[in-house]
Amino acid sequence: MKKIFLLLCMSCCFTAMAQTNSSGPFDYRPYFSAVIVSNIDTSAKWYEALLGLTVKNTINDPGNGYKVVTLESRVFLMELLQLDGSIAKKRF
């Protein structure tokens, strides 16, 4: 979970650096991030509790092997993706 949180932070930083504001200098507020997770239900609850996000939309397509949960706040949008077979589980 620490790796996911670190990836989220890095994603937010890169997103913020890529955005510009036409009325002035750079706007360093992140707006959107997408994260691939291995358990979408647990991850959605974790991000809801940690960042105060609420579920905007849920897509479950077992035929194509993916689930998507879109979470939002007043200023931020996050998409969680669970893709069957895309994440190899490693035992350390």
Could you tell me the pLDDT band of residue 66, with boundaries at 50, 70 and 90?
A: very high
- The CATH number given to 2-83 is 3.10.180.10
The answer, yes or no, to whether residue 18 has pLDDT greater than 90, is: no
Average pLDDT value for the chain: 78
Question: Which residue in this structure is represented by tokens 């955005």?
Answer: 19
Percent residues over pLDDT 90 in the chain: 38
What distance lies between CA 70 and its chain's CA centroid? 8
pLDDT (tens digit per residue) in 80-91: 999 987 656 666
Let me know: does 78 contact 72? Beta carbons within 8 Å. Answer: yes
Domain ranges for the chain: 2-83
